[in-house]
């Protein structure tokens, strides 16, 4: 019988090696790393390169 290998990845925040299967916080290693990363997105510390999307202006023809 062959042993099934567990896939390992690296936490996107702290870069520690993490097991994919059975990890409730994947792709992160822990809830802490997941929440810290979410906070960085919320504070706009991460950006996606590209042109800014045009903003919609309110329609004054009401």
**Tell me: the pLDDT tens digits for 5-38?**
678 899 999 999 999 899 999 999 999 999 999 9
The reported pTM is 0.64
Q: How confident is the model at residue 62 (pLDDT cuts 50, 70, 90)?
A: low
Can you give the pLDDT at residue 12? 94
| Domains of the chain, each with CATH number or no CATH | 8-42 (3.30.50.10)
**Tell me: the pLDDT tens digits for 43-55?**
989 888 888 888 8
How far is the C-alpha of 36 from the C-alpha of 52, rounded, in Å?
25
Instruction: Tell me, letter by letter, the H, E, C secondary structure of 9-35.
Output: EECCCCCCEEECCCCCCCCCCCHHHHH
């Amino acid at each position: 019988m062959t042993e099934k290998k567990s896939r390992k990845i690296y936490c996107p925040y702290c870069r520690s090696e993490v097991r994919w299967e059975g990890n409730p916080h994947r792709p992160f290693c822990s809830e802490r790393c997941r929440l810290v990363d979410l906070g960085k997105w919320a504070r706009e510390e991460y950006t996606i390169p590209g042109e800014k999307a045009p903003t919609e202006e309110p329609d004054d023809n009401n």
